[in-house]
Chain A
Amino acid sequence: MGRNSKITWNPYTPGYFENPYDHLRQCREENPVHIGMQNSWMFFRYEEVSDILRSGEFEVSEINEYFKQKEDYIFSGSGQCPYLSKGTKQWPMYLNGEHHKRVRMAMGKAFNSMPLAQLIKESIEECHLQFASFERLDITDYCAQFIFLVVEKMFGVSNYESLDKIRLYSNLLARSQDLFIPKQVYLDINKQFLWGKKIFSGSPYQEMIESSLEKDDAEEDLYSIMAISLMAAFETSKDNLSLSLYQILRKPDLIDTILSCSTQELNLLIEELFRFSSPLQYTVRINRKPLFVDGMEISENSKLYLCLASANRDSDKFDKPDELVADRNPNDHLSFGGGVHYCLGATIARQELRHCLKPMAQFLKDYQLASPEPIKWSKQIFMRTAKSIAVELKK
């Protein structure tokens, strides 16, 4: 297998956004390592993806450097003040070495100081009051509202902005990391960066981050960390939760399971939901030395796209990989990546599901997915996101 194989990765294959897994399976089985679009190397098997993530030999690509190179082109004639490079400069998933450690520690310390369990419990009660007695609802709105309530308590943004504005801000910031983003959308993202500079004023979270940073860190560095904190806390949590609830509503027996299961059983189910849904579908690494895979030499400093979603469905690693098995154990999925860049928000994502799944199952037990097509998917490649998930009261 290799360069001459027929199949090559193409997220614009018809039907990919609705269901990427058929295409990913074909890539994994027929051409698991190959040069894909934009001359990047694609990896689909669990073994290689896991090895690269967990090895110390690889680095992440620095997104703000990419924006620096492209800003002249993106902003030519736009009249906008370029902020893409500055805004992403401190995003820890794109930092290496000591810089990465420093930002990660500051964010981790601030996250860990939050009484998250309490914030989640309060937020779920408020959310259910807002959605009580709805005959039809959109699960993505329901999840966004819940996460917004958590986030406003974490960051103190509620006095400033509405859910709709924060939702747009968070989504566009997340899209800055995606593939095949045109300059027109980058301009929209830039506008959001500029708009968001005011929203964290007086935030206790920001004060905690500020106290962990060096005195000579610029104000824009602090804002960059706030922006990624909010985006990670809002967008990824919303996606995790809405995709998990979608899978639960597709298999309604799971609602009874959730309502009656022990904490340990719930934790196993949560890990399986992360594996099965894989909201973060890809991540990128750079090899600083030549790499040899399947008889091919990958020259140093190549961009390696690691398909987490495919690795999580690899039958060499998981029995019945395309089935959601509530008590799967062990479940060494890669939904949060691995190694030094293991997702900083993984603990938060787990805590959110641990505290909200039972009350949400109780709330949703009278609902069913609306027919005929309850879900609409966004055209995003890196983060799999539902635009809407319609449910209705059971008749």
Chain B
Amino acid sequence: MIVTKNYMDIKIWLQEQIAQESGKQIADTSCDEEFENFDLDSLSLVSLSYELETKFDLDIGPTVFTEFNTINKLSEWVETQK
């Protein structure tokens, strides 16, 4: 299902996904923490980018997590994508 790209919705969704992938609580998933500090391996990041593409109907690659390296930065970027 494609959802509206509202900044807060994206941010919450990303927090949930990162928490799930890294085995942390959502409350412990800081939106300003760099992704590399979440102890996610490359397969997790590739799988997350696939979820992101599907959820928000985007055409991206796994490098998006390097270019926009926090939940806040990535949420802002996703919101601006048509």
Contact = CB atoms under 8 A, between A and B. Distances in A.
11 contacts: A11-B61, A12-B60, A12-B63, A38-B42, A73-B43, A73-B44, A74-B43, A180-B62, A181-B46, A182-B49, A184-B51
Contacts of A184: 47, 50-51
Contacts of B46: 180-182
A320 B47 CA distance: 40
Interface of A: 10-12, 37-38, 70, 73-74, 180-185
Main secondary structure of the interface of A (DSSP, over half): helix
A355 to B, nearest CB: 39
Interface in B30-82: 42-44, 46-47, 49-51, 60-63
Contacts of B51: 182, 184
A275 B38 CA distance: 43
Nearest to B63: A12
Q: Which of A38, A181, A182 gathers the greatest number of chain B CB atoms within 10 Å? A: A182
A29 B20 CA distance: 42
B50 A185 contact: yes
Nearest to B60: A12
Interface of B: 42-44, 46-47, 49-51, 60-63
Given A73-B43, A183-B43, A12 B62 contact: yes
A11 B63 CA distance: 9
A184 B48 CA distance: 10
B59 to A, nearest CB: 9
B69 to A, nearest CB: 14
A342 to B, nearest CB: 30
Contacts of A10: 63
Contacts of A180: 46, 61-62
Given A70-B43, A73-B43, A73-B44, A37 B63 contact: yes
Contacts of B60: 12
Contacts of B61: 11-12, 180
A111 to B, nearest CB: 34
A182 B42 contact: no
Contacts of A185: 50
Contacts of B43: 70, 73-74, 182-183
Contacts of A38: 42
A73 B23 CA distance: 12
Nearest to A185: B50
B47 A182 contact: yes
The 10 closest A-B pairs by CB, nearest first: A12-B61, A182-B50, A182-B47, A183-B47, A182-B46, A12-B63, A180-B46, A38-B42, A180-B62, A184-B50
Contacts of A183: 43, 47
A12 B62 CA distance: 8
B46 to A, nearest CB: 5
A223 B62 CA distance: 33
Given A12-B61, A182-B43, A184-B50, 7 more contacts: A12-B63, A73-B43, A73-B44, A182-B49, A183-B47, A184-B51, A185-B50
B39 to A, nearest CB: 13
Contacts of B42: 38
A180 to B, nearest CB: 5
Nearest to A39: B42
Contacts of B49: 182
Contacts of A73: 43-44
A382 to B, nearest CB: 14
Nearest to A12: B61
A37 B67 CA distance: 13
Nearest to A10: B63
Contacts of A11: 61
